[in-house]
Amino acid sequence: MKTSAGERAFGWLNALLMIGLCFITLYPFLYVLFASFSDATSFLQSSGLLFRPAGFDLGAYRAVFHNPMIMKGYGNTLIYVTLGTAINLVMTAIGAYVTSRSQLYFNKILMFLIVVTMVFQGGLIPSYLLVNELGMMNSMWALLVPVAINTFNLIIMRTAFQSVPVSLEESARLDGAGDWTILFRIVLPLSMPVVAVMILWYAVGHWNSYFAALVYLRDSEKYPLQLVLRDILIANNTDTMMAGSASDDKYAIGETIKYATIIVSTLPIICLYPFLQKYFVKGVLVGAVKG
Amino acid sequence: MPKSAGHPAAWRTIRTDLRRHWSIYMMAMPVIAYYAIFQYGPMYGLQIAFKDFQPTKGIGGSPWVGFEHFNHFFNGIYFWRLIKNTLLINAYDLLFGFPAPIVLALLLNEIRGRLFKRFVQTVSYLPHFISIVVVAGMMADFLSRAGLVNQILSSFGMTPVDFLKEAGWFRFLFVSSGIWQSVGWGSIIYLAAITTIDSTLYEAARIDGAGRWKQTLHVTLPGIMPTIAILFILQMGHMMTVGSEKVLLLYNPLTYSTADVISTYVYRKGVLEASYSFTAAVGLFNSVVSLILIVAANSLSRRLGDNKLW
């Protein structure tokens, strides 16, 4: 096929543009990575873009790993992610299973009442008062239970469950299987691609969330990692971190610690990302079919 | 659907249904309880918007005050500022954030090398998964007076700007960082739409002598138009909504004049200052306007074709 000179020029320009996009996307992370490995004093003296660490020092990482707040936050986040995702998955699966049974008399009413909550919610303040009323204030359950089901995910899972052949379910029922067995032994395993997407979405959501913790938690002992990060990055509260380090260039290390904290908190996602990417993308498309 | 609840035949149907499916209804209990308590519970709590809520008396026992809180909000000094900020952020996002993934998808579609295309896609999706705290934290660092951006600016002899403390910069930074974070992810749906276009259309266009630009303009773009229309309408439905999470991390009293939106106002007044009834009224006002917009958007998209949103 012939290509005109103009089209060839466009091809090059386009490639250049895409490389530019990749640079803009990746460079902030690279800068943070380089800065986190930098020697604090040389980093402060350096200026402009970094293309390698300014000096080399692991002091920032040492401070991060010795910091009780960050480590505690990390541990809390791991608990919240695991427990929260488990709750999400079980509840969403049950909801999707029940609403996918079209033979139920109340199916349509139930589905209608569920879909209504997608377009109208009580909002922040009534939810806050409810959590308070239920005695969940300042407890980790406030971060997990009120978000037990994401209705959008429920609908995606319901669509997947509906495509499981009815004959499989009927033969299982003849063998004496109840609804729980059918859900967890037949329907769920047959919908594994969607389940994988759900796990990833819910888990990433819990890992990244900070707002519920900001609203509901009082004790910093219970803070998830993102809230600790907020204190360090946004409120610029690196003083507490300095408690452990005896060095006299405390101010200087305070700068590089921020970068090390970002890396340590984002690393799990960046490392898993390339492997999980295809699932994420598949999930968007599953959602798009219905959405 | 029950035709009439009082009809004896309907009752019989319900009884048989409950008897036959009781185990599945039992199974549904936790889900029903979840929706009743955590979704409909707050809706019940919304009545405090019309009451003078006193914690000791509870939601049901507090005295009614009618539309007092709404009047207070509509006539308050911040009303127009909040509406304007919420709408303007959304307007900028519609103007720049909406077309960005479409343009990216079209450009990605023109890349011939499969591996290169895949690499660009992988990189561009990445920021979507980074937490908003980290994104805002990096912005706070890069845009501070001594930060990376000002180091570069001053090397060109420009005076440093404290970007996040200047109200004039807020909308630009908020919207552009949003594009940075979501342009790649947003392009997925358009790329998927492009792959569904009938390839014979391209052949026909080529036979008619259309170059790549003409093919994009007359085949690809019309091919993804339904997708564009749906997403556009969907976004119109959210014109009155700006989430509080990102704004809370980026704004400060110096930038409230451009950055304070309805949701952040509700957070400050409600959660921090405990004026529950007033902020419940503000939240209810916002929800009702959003509901009207979403329903209008959906009926509009129904009318445009069978592309309904739900």
In this predicted structure, what is the pLDDT of residue A253?
A: 65
Conformation bin of residue A55: beta by default, left when phi > 0, alpha when psi is -120 to 50: left
> A288 to chain B: nearest residue by CA?
B189
Least Cα separation, residue A286 to chain B (angstroms): 10
Question: How far does the CA of residue B154 sit from the closest CA of chain A (Å)?
Answer: 9
What is the percent of chain A with per-residue pLDDT over 70, rounded to a whole number?
89
What confidence score (pLDDT) does residue A238 get? 58
Indicate yes or no: CB of B42 within 8 angstroms of CB of A258. Answer: no
Residues sharing a CB contact under 8 Å with residue B36, sequence separation 6 or more, in sequence order: none
Tell me the backbone φ, ψ of residue A119, rounded to 5 degrees: -105, -15
- Higher per-residue pLDDT: A284 or B227: B227
Q: Which residue has the higher pLDDT, B305 or B51?
A: B51
| pLDDT score at A52 | 83
What would the mean pLDDT of A170-178 be, rounded to a whole number?
A: 88
pLDDT at A29: 94
Task: Work out the minimum CA distance from A283 to partner chain B, whole angstroms.
Answer: 11
End-to-end CA separation in angstroms for chain B: 19
pLDDT at B36 over 60: yes
Nearest to B129 among A48, A94, A269 (CB): A269
- pLDDT at residue B5 greater than cutoff 70: no
Evaluate if residue A106 carries a pLDDT over 90. Answer: no
CB contact under 8 A, B267 and A124: yes
* Minimum-distance CB partner of B42 among A26, A47, A126: A126
Per the prediction, chain A carries an average pLDDT of 86
Would the CB atoms of B188 and A105 count as touching at under 8 Å? no
> For residue A280, is pLDDT > 90?
no
pLDDT exceeds 80 at position B2: no
| pLDDT band for position A246 (cuts 50, 70, 90) | very low
Domain B77-129+182-304 in CATH 1.10.3720.10? The answer is yes
Mean of per-residue pLDDT scores for chain B: 90
Q: Please judge whether A121 and B27 are an interchain contact, meaning their C-beta atoms are less than 8 angstroms apart.
A: no
Work out how many CB contacts closer than 8 A connect A with B.
251
Residues 6 or more apart whose Cβ sits within 8 Å of residue A255: A35, A40, A43, A44
User: C-alpha dihedral over B245, B251, B256, B258, to 10 degrees?
Assistant: -90
CA distance linking residue A107 with residue A88, whole number of Å? 21
Whole-number Å distance between alpha carbons of B239 and B87 = 6
Mean pLDDT, rounded, for A150-173: 90
pLDDT > 90 fraction of chain A, expressed in percent and rounded: 52
Q: Which residues partner with B51 through β-bridges?
A: B64
Q: How far is CA A36 from each of CA A40, A216, B141, B146, rounded to the nearest angstrom?
A: 9, 32, 13, 17
Q: Of A43 and B292, which is predicted with more confidence? A: B292
Among A7, A15, A258, the residue with its CB nearest the CB of B211 is A7
CB of B285 within 8 Å of any CB in chain A? no
Does any CB of chain A come closer than 8 Å to the CB of residue B284?
yes
DSSP chain A: ----HHHHHHHHHHHHHHHHHHHHHHHHHHHHHHHHTS-HHHHHH--S--SS-SS---HHHHHHHT-HHHHHHHHHHHHHHHHHHHHHHHHHHHHHHHHH-TT-TTHHHHHHHHHHHHH----HHHHHHHHHHTT-TTSTHHHHSTTS--HHHHHHHHHHHHTS-HHHHHHHHHTT--HHHIIIIIIHHHTHHHHHHHHHHHHHHHHH--HHHHHH---GGG--HHHHHHHHHTS---HHHHTT---S-HHHHHHHHHHHHHHHHHHHHHHHHHHHHHHHHHHHHHHHHH-
Q: Residue A102 has which token pair?
A: 């079209």
| pLDDT > 70 fraction of chain B, expressed in percent and rounded | 96
- B107/B112 Cα distance (integer angstroms): 11
Task: Test B34 with A91 for CB contact under 8 angstroms.
Answer: yes
Nearest neighbour of B124 by CB, restricted to A25, A130, A266: A25
Enumerate the residues of chain B whose CB falls inside 8 A of the CB of residue A265: 131, 134
What is the pLDDT confidence band of residue A43, given thresholds at 50, 70 and 90?
A: confident
pLDDT at residue B308, as a whole number: 47
Asked if residue A159 has pLDDT above 80, the reply is yes
Distance from the A14 Cα atom to the nearest Cα atom in chain B, whole angstroms = 7
Convert B156-221 into a string of H (helix), E (strand) and C (coil).
CCCCCCCHHHCHHHHHHHHHHHHHHHHHHHHHHHHHHHHHCCCHHHHHHHHHCCCCHHHHHHHHHH
Residue B102 buriedness (CB in 10 A; 0-12 / 13-18 / 19+): buried
Which domains does chain A carry? 5-66+238-290 (no CATH), 68-220 (1.10.3720.10)
pLDDT band at B305, cuts 50/70/90? low
Give residue A99's pLDDT.
Answer: 93
pLDDT at res. A239: 55
Is residue A86 pLDDT above 90, yes or no?
yes
Could you give the count of Cα atoms lying within 13 Å of B118 in the half-sphere of its Cβ? 6
Count of Cβ atoms closer than 10 Å to residue B162 Cβ: 14
pLDDT number for residue A101: 87
Dist. CA B227–CA B189, nearest whole Å: 8
pLDDT over 60 at B82, yes or no: yes
Q: What is the mean pLDDT of residues B289-309?
A: 77
Q: What pLDDT does A177 receive?
A: 87
Q: What is the mean pLDDT of residues B277-305?
A: 88
Mean pLDDT, rounded, for B8-18: 85
Residue B1's pLDDT is what?
Answer: 47
> Do the Cβ atoms of A94 and B27 come within 8 Å?
yes
The mean-pLDDT minimum among A121-125, A234-238, A241-245, B144-148 falls in A241-245
A273/B60: higher pLDDT: B60
Residue B307 has pLDDT above 90, yes or no: no
Q: DSSP label at B6?
A: T
Report pLDDT digits (tens) over B244-281: 999 999 999 999 999 999 999 999 999 999 999 999 99
Name the phi and psi angles at B64, rounded to 5. -75, 145
Q: What is the pLDDT of residue A290?
A: 44
**Per-residue confidence (pLDDT) for residue A8, from 0 to 100:** 85
Q: What is the mean pLDDT of residues A160-188?
A: 89
Query: Residue ranges per domain, chain B?
Result: 1-31, 77-129+182-304
* Maximum C-alpha span of chain B: 86
| Secondary structure (DSSP) of B238-301 | TTT---HHHHHHH--GGGHHHH--HHHHHIIIIIIT--HHHHHHHHHHHHHHHHHHHHHHHHHH
Most B-contacting residue of A125, A144, A151, A270 (CB-CB within 10 A), to test interface: A125
The whole-number pLDDT of residue A242 equals 53
* pLDDT (0 to 100) of residue A291: 39
Q: Mean pLDDT throughout A222-228?
A: 95
Q: Which pLDDT does position A203 carry in this prediction?
A: 92
Interchain pair A234, B28: CB under 8 A:
no
